């Protein structure tokens, strides 16, 4: 347990826990904290979080597996999350995704063996005014995508 | 038309506390204590404004507040729904990103009205930049004494905690959200009891959408009657329409409730791209029943749209021009529900899953005789049979797309390709991934 919650990380987690009525309520944010620190959440880290919060490991595992934003394996350096829902799809989202797949030699859902990049087709990100769009590295929204814009983006970030 | 909230939507800008105050911000929250010595009078004022729940349900906001029991001996919580997951909807993001203090001011007013001393803002996990802006605003408000132990120097404490979701559409459903906020997977709860009575941590809870709360300062500053008059009958005020799809100018437009759909598309969003013809419109987020082009002379408020068998929902307007294949559009739509069903209720888990698989087969040109009827058959057991409204939200587009464009579905099944663009989707195969490692999550 100490291996995961270093004194520094524990101090941060304590601050999060203090915001909530129950320790369990903080689990989403504590998992995010652990993930931001280590890059992903291992099964050992899940157990450490469960111990730290005083809840059953299964309760943490249920959360990890229910939500889509937690990485349980090492993630790639560059991550393209391409929206596939209606507005993006109407404006050429499918073609943009195929172009990116071709360019990187990957299919959506795959990571390059070198760990350099990965593509995910994701559901609506709340940025339909930018359609077709993607989220880069779980952060920046990049929109009005065309094949040319994908080429430029890949050149810039890869 | 005067802009209220959207006047703050300046590209690249987030209004700081000082800038917001300079523009009259926090005046309504500051004045609320003296103006309404009895919070019940404030609830009555909001009732008079005809403010509706702008997250999508359209429940009268003042009425919702009046259902919260104040005599249970338990604390009352305010939960702000900033999960914004309904496809086609992106307006709350603008409030969070450009003027988070307006939301905080609305939160203070709602907290005072409902005797709340702790509020949680549940923001979707993908909104990283809006989250940063919101956290910064919360800190500014604490530093200035607008949140904390004695807000505005009054004997009134209010804490605000910002909580990030982790990627689940179902957590926008209010009871799924509560479960998630308690640290669990987002399985919606059976109602009753309603969250007003038994909500967060078993306590009475007010759940309001970001936009709903953000109109409160205007109602207090300029009066409930003024606000009510801005909109249509029993639908007070303005609201933020998110317009996307095949329009010239996609974006957020703040217009009166009851504005015509035609006006939104042709006057505000600049009409259809490339001067093509309109084919269909989703009026209120992905879960709303679709309109054909000849049905857009309709007033966009909760009651008029309900009378047309669809819904105002989250005001996410998705526009489709004549080049749109409705079959493929429905496949994309139903794939969403298949992916996002939480799996708790069988009619939804199985229904959305099978509908999405059958539509995939049809869209790939491998449709079978009877598929269209099968889809309608599945649809008939999905509505009204589940704990939450996700399945009803899936059934509405499913039934309406098929009923209004049935010939396109029949053609696709018969010919193995789209009547509109003459193509079918590539057959999805389980490609060899042995040399690849899969993405972490």
How far is Cα A29 from Cα B123, in angstroms, rounded to an integer? 12
Please give the residue that has the higher pLDDT: either A49 or B426.
A49
Indicate if the pLDDT at residue B1 is higher than 80. no
Chain B residue closest in CA terms to A68: B167
What is the least distance, in Å, from the CA of A156 to any CA of chain B? 21
Q: Are residues A126 and A148 in the same domain?
A: yes
DSSP character string of B6-28: GGG--TT----HHHHHHTTTTHH
For residue B435, being part of any structural domain is answered with no
pLDDT score, position B436 = 43
CB B194, CB B179: distance < 8 Å = no
Q: Are residues B278 and B338 in the same domain?
A: no
The tokens describing B219, both together, are 């109602």
How far is Cα B41 from Cα B25, in angstroms, rounded to an integer? 22
Q: Which residue has the tokens 């790639």?
A: A76
Nearest by CB: A111 against B182, B431, B437: B437
pLDDT score, position B189 = 98
* C-beta atoms of B286 and A128 within 8 A: no
Is residue A84 less than 8 Å (CB to CB) from chain B? yes
What is the least distance, in Å, from the CA of B160 to any CA of chain A? 9
Q: Are residues B175 and B307 in the same domain?
A: no
Nearest by CB: B336 against A28, A85, A110: A85
| Average pLDDT for B53-78 | 97
pLDDT score, position B427 = 85
What are the pLDDT digits (tens) for B186-206? 999 999 999 999 999 999 999
* C-beta atoms of A24 and B182 within 8 A: yes
Q: Are residues B260 and B164 in the same domain?
A: no
Is residue A16 less than 8 Å (CB to CB) from chain B? no
For residue A2, being part of any structural domain is answered with no
Percent residues over pLDDT 90 in chain B: 96
Q: Are residues A119 and A53 in the same domain?
A: no
pLDDT score, position B136 = 98
Q: Are residues B146 and B274 in the same domain?
A: no
Answer with the one of B258, B292, B321 that is the final residue of a domain.
B321
Is residue A71 less than 8 Å (CB to CB) from chain B? yes
The domain total for chain B is: 3
How far is Cα B419 from Cα B322, in angstroms, rounded to an integer? 12
For residue A93, being part of any structural domain is answered with yes
Contacts of A91 (CB under 8 A, 6+ apart): A131, A132, B245, B246
Residues in chain B within 8 Å Cβ distance of A118: 439
Three-state secondary structure call for residue B210: helix
Confidence of residue B383 (pLDDT cuts 50, 70, 90): confident
The domain total for chain A is: 2
For residue A57, being part of any structural domain is answered with yes
* C-beta atoms of A126 and B163 within 8 A: no
A15: domain range? 7-66
Q: Are residues B218 and B243 in the same domain?
A: no
* C-beta atoms of B439 and A110 within 8 A: yes
* C-beta atoms of A89 and B332 within 8 A: yes
Residues in chain A within 8 Å Cβ distance of B439: 73, 75-76, 79, 109-111, 118-120
Nearest by CB: B244 against A22, A26, A128: A128
Indicate if the pLDDT at residue B3 is higher than 90. yes
How far is Cα B74 from Cα B388, in angstroms, rounded to an integer? 26
Q: Are residues B310 and B334 in the same domain?
A: no
What are the pLDDT digits (tens) for A96-149? 999 999 999 999 999 999 999 999 999 999 999 999 999 999 999 999 999 999
SS3 track for B24-72: CCCHHHHHHHHHCCCHHHHHHHHHHCCCECCCCCCCEHHHHHHCCCCCC
Indicate if the pLDDT at residue B438 is higher than 90. no
* C-beta atoms of A89 and B436 within 8 A: no
Contacts within 8 Å (CB) and 24+ apart, A92-98: A92/A132, A92/A145, A92/A146, A93/A131, A93/A132, A93/A145, A95/A147, A96/A132, A96/A134, A96/A145, A96/A146, A96/A147, A96/A150, A97/A121
How far is Cα B86 from Cα B284, in angstroms, rounded to an integer? 9
B385: domain range? 326-415
Confidence of residue B429 (pLDDT cuts 50, 70, 90): low
């Amino acid at each position: 347990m100490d291996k995961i919650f270093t004194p520094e990380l524990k101090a941060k987690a304590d601050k999060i826990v203090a915001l909530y009525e129950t320790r369990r309520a903080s689990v989403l944010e504590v998992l995010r904290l652990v993930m931001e620190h280590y890059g992903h959440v291992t099964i050992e880290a899940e157990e450490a979080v469960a111990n730290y919060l005083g809840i059953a490991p299964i309760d943490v595992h249920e959360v990890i597996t229910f939500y889509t934003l937690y990485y349980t394996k090492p993630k790639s350096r560059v991550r393209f999350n391409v929206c596939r829902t209606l507005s993006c799809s109407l404006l050429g989202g499918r073609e943009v995704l195929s172009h990116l797949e071709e360019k990187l030699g990957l299919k959506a859902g795959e990571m390059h063996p070198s760990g350099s990049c990965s593509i995910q087709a994701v559901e609506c990100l709340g940025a339909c005014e930018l359609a077709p769009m993607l989220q880069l590295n779980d952060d920046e929204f990049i929109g009005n995508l065309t094949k040319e814009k994908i080429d430029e983006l890949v050149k810039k970030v890869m | 038309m005067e802009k209220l909230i959207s006047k703050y939507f300046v590209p690249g800008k987030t209004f700081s506390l000082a800038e917001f105050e300079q523009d009259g911000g926090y005046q309504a929250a500051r004045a609320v204590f003296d103006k309404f010595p009895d919070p019940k009078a404030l609830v009555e004022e909001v009732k008079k404004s005809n403010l509706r729940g702008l997250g999508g349900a359209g429940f009268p906001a003042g009425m919702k507040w009046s259902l919260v029991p104040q005599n249970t001996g338990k604390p009352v919580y305010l939960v702000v729904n900033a999960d914004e997951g309904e496809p086609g909807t992106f307006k709350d993001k603008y409030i969070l990103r450009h003027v988070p203090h307006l939301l905080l001011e609305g939160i203070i007013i709602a907290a005072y009205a409902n005797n709340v001393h702790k509020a949680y803002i549940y923001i979707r996990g993908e909104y990283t930049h809006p989250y940063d802006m919101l956290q910064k605003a919360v800190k500014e408000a604490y530093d200035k004494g607008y949140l904390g132990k004695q807000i505005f120097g009054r004997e009134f404490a209010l804490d605000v905690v910002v909580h990030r979701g982790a990627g689940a559409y179902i957590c926008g459903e209010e009871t799924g959200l509560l479960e998630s906020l308690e640290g669990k997977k987002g399985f919606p709860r059976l109602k009753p009891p309603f969250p007003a009575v038994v909500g967060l941590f078993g306590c009475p809870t007010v759940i309001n959408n970001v936009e709903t709360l953000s109109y409160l300062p205007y109602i207090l500053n300029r009066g409930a009657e003024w606000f009510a008059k801005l909109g249509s009958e029993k639908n007070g005020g303005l609201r933020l329409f998110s317009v996307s799809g095949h329009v010239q100018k996609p974006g957020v437009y703040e217009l009166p409730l009851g504005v015509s759909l035609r006006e939104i598309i042709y006057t505000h969003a600049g009409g259809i791209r490339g001067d093509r013809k309109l084919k269909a419109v989703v009026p209120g987020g992905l879960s709303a029943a679709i309109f054909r082009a000849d049905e857009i002379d309709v007033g966009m408020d909760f009651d008029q749209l309900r009378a047309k068998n669809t819904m105002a929902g989250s005001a996410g307007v998705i526009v489709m021009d004549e080049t749109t294949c409705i079959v493929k559009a429905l496949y994309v739509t139903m794939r969403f529900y298949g992916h996002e069903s939480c799996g708790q209720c069988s009619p939804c888990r199985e229904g959305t899953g099978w509908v999405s698989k059958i539509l995939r087969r049809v869209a790939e040109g491998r449709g079978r005789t009877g598929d269209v009827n099968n889809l309608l058959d599945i649809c008939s057991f999905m509505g009204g049979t589940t704990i939450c409204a996700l399945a009803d939200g899936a059934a509405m587009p499913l039934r309406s797309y098929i009923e209004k464009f049935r010939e396109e579905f029949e053609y696709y099944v018969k010919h193995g390709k789209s009547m509109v663009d003459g193509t079918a989707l590539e057959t999805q195969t389980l490609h060899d991934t042995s040399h690849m490692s899969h993405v972490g999550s």
